[in-house]
Amino acid sequence: MTSTFEHVRSMWGSILWRQFLTWHFLKDPIAVCLASVVPLIIAATVNEFDIRETLNLVYISSTVLLIMLFGTAERVLVSVIHRVIGTLLGAGVGVLLGYAHGAMVNAGDPRVVIYTYQLLVFICVVFVVAFLTRIFPNYYDLFLLFGITVAVLLFTADLTVAYSRTASVLIAAVSSTIFTLLFQYTRAEDMLFRDHREASILLLELTGYAVSSEHQEKREFDHSTHRMRECLSSADKASDAYIIWRRLTFRKPRFDFRSLSDALRPLYYEVFSLYWSHVETALRPRDATRLYCNTESDYRTYFKPYIDSLVMGIHEYKEYITAILELQRSHQERRDAVEKVLTIINEKFHANMAHLNIRFMETRSVCFQNRYQRWNMTEYLVTVTCVLIELIEYTQKIVEFFIVEDVEYADLLDQLAMMRLHMNELRFETDSQMNPTIAA
């Protein structure tokens, strides 16, 4: 037993270290280190290795960390750019305030007057920063670094020290900008694709859990739900930053990542509606093994094969969708994957739902003892159909997302529209044909 535990722990450790030693994981720490070390070397050279002159090593290192640690963690270029702009504005305002402070000291003004000046100016800066962050929350980074830089320079009595701090802050800001661009610029779209792929994979896992409607999968469902919300929120913030970054650099965004996130939300709501209205509300743990049927045997004989086939289709759909959402794929590879998805929609989704409806109509008086069971099963079939319709809609949004010129995927969009129509007809047929029977 102990040896098994040690083996599992060693395997987990090796997997974890393999993940940590990838370039994707290491590039951010490396960028921060280089952005810190290079200006420190320059400063030591300029100072002739005397830390009391020209450039202040403490302010260089602290400014780099303030700008880059948060920016690289968020993995968005625009955050670092905002921090650099705030630092530069703060340096400009701060050196002017520091100059006034130094002039008062040289003029021999009383200490009370000097301290009052510093306090009043500092309060004004803090108030303005706090006020502006409330009005413009998206520019919080800019105002934060502005306030910090002003404070650093405000409490400087010696003008020489003020200029040294200003030069240190500026060289740190330049270094942070250069290394952020070098390490993050070419990978911005890759990161956005990866974020959305992760959110899509998690949501499709939730879809499989909801369709299978098994109580034993509740823990996995709850865990994936938490991660799904985090991924979707992260993807939204990153896509907004991507749009701002492209506009700041006078370019039109190549991809509308927000449209993909928006397309996931209706599917997200339908999946939750399916799961919570059946697994959490209508089905008790023992009933989940028979999905409203009188016996587990009836369920396994007439319905479970089709539900298992649906879940398998969702897993296959997930594999092809994640392949489509890779930036490196060619248009032909992406088109082939979409055609595979169309086959899954026809052969797995539509065909199995049609068979489930037929089975239910044929066996409703035998397999379902009372109207309550039949009503619940009807609602289950209708809601599953709604989930599959949203999957088709999501596929359509992905195809539209990759249309770069003219009508490269126009025929695929036509096929998806037809499939959605057929699935919608199946939903109305399920609802209209079964409800009169239930009411009777």
CA-CA distance, 173 to 171, in Å (whole number)?
A: 5
**Any idea of the CA torsion for 8, 9, 12, 17, to the nearest 10 degrees?**
-150
Residue 256 sits at φ, ψ, to 5 deg, of -95, 80
Q: What does the mean pLDDT of the chain come to?
A: 79
The segment with the largest mean pLDDT, out of 67-81, 157-171, 250-264, 389-403, is: 389-403
More confident residue, 152 or 124: 124
Q: In 141-171, which positions are buried (b, 16+ CB within 10 angstroms) versus exposed (e)?
A: bbbbbbbbbbbbbbebeebeebbbbbbbbbb
More confident residue, 42 or 390: 390
pLDDT score at 212: 87
The segment with the largest mean pLDDT, out of 1-5, 181-185, 402-406, 412-416, is: 412-416
Q: State the Rg of the chain over Cα.
A: 30
**Coil, helix or strand at residue 15:** helix
DSSP designation for 215: G
CA-CA distance, 285 to 324, in Å (whole number)?
A: 37
Joined together, the tokens standing for residue 318 give 């997930």
Residue 127 sits at φ, ψ, to 5 deg, of -65, -45
In 184-334, beta strands by DSSP E: none
- Closest alpha carbon to 171 in 44, 42, 85, 341: 42
Long-range contacts of 394-401 (CB under 8 A, 24+ apart): 394/263, 394/264, 394/267, 395/321, 395/338, 395/341, 395/345, 396/420, 397/259, 397/260, 397/262, 397/263, 398/260, 398/263, 398/321, 398/324, 398/325, 398/338, 399/338, 400/259, 401/255, 401/256, 401/259, 401/260
- Closest alpha carbon to 82 in 243, 239, 246, 248: 248
Does residue 24 surpass a pLDDT of 80? Answer: no
pLDDT score at 408: 65
Mean pLDDT of 270-291: 79
- Tell me the pLDDT tens digit for each residue of 332-354: 888 889 999 999 999 999 999 99
Does residue 148 surpass a pLDDT of 60? Answer: yes
- Tell me the pLDDT tens digit for each residue of 311-337: 999 999 999 998 898 888 888 888 889
pLDDT score at 302: 93
Q: What is 94-156 written as a DSSP string?
A: HHHHHHHHHHHHHTT--HHHHHHHHHHHHHHHHHHHHHHHHH-GGGHHHHHHHHHHHHHHHT-
Report helix, strand and coil shares of the chain as percent, to nearest 5: 85, 0, 15
- Tell me the pLDDT tens digit for each residue of 225-274: 778 877 777 777 777 777 777 776 677 777 888 888 888 888 989 998 88
- Tell me the pLDDT tens digit for each residue of 178-215: 777 677 655 667 777 888 888 899 899 999 988 988 77
pLDDT score at 385: 93
Are 145 and 80 a contacting pair, CB within 8 Å? Answer: no
**Coil, helix or strand at residue 22:** coil
Distance of alpha carbon 409 from the chain centroid: 27
In angstroms, how far is the first alpha carbon of the chain from the final one? 60
Q: Confidence class of residue 20 from pLDDT cuts 50, 70 and 90?
A: low
**Coil, helix or strand at residue 284:** coil
Residues 6+ apart with CB under 8 A from 224: 202, 205, 206, 209
Q: How many CB atoms lie within 10 A of CB 425?
A: 11
pLDDT score at 437: 46
Mean pLDDT of 67-71: 65
More confident residue, 11 or 415: 415
Joined together, the tokens standing for residue 337 give 């994957």
- Closest alpha carbon to 277 in 360, 390, 378, 426: 378
CA-CA distance, 71 to 80, in Å (whole number)?
A: 5
Q: How many CB atoms lie within 10 A of CB 102?
A: 18
- Tell me the pLDDT tens digit for each residue of 45-64: 777 655 455 666 667 777 77
Q: Confidence class of residue 301 from pLDDT cuts 50, 70 and 90?
A: very high
Joined together, the tokens standing for residue 198 give 């992760």
pLDDT score at 349: 95
CA-CA distance, 152 to 125, in Å (whole number)?
A: 12
Are 218 and 284 a contacting pair, CB within 8 Å? Answer: no
Residue 285 sits at φ, ψ, to 5 deg, of -50, -40
Q: Confidence class of residue 305 from pLDDT cuts 50, 70 and 90?
A: very high
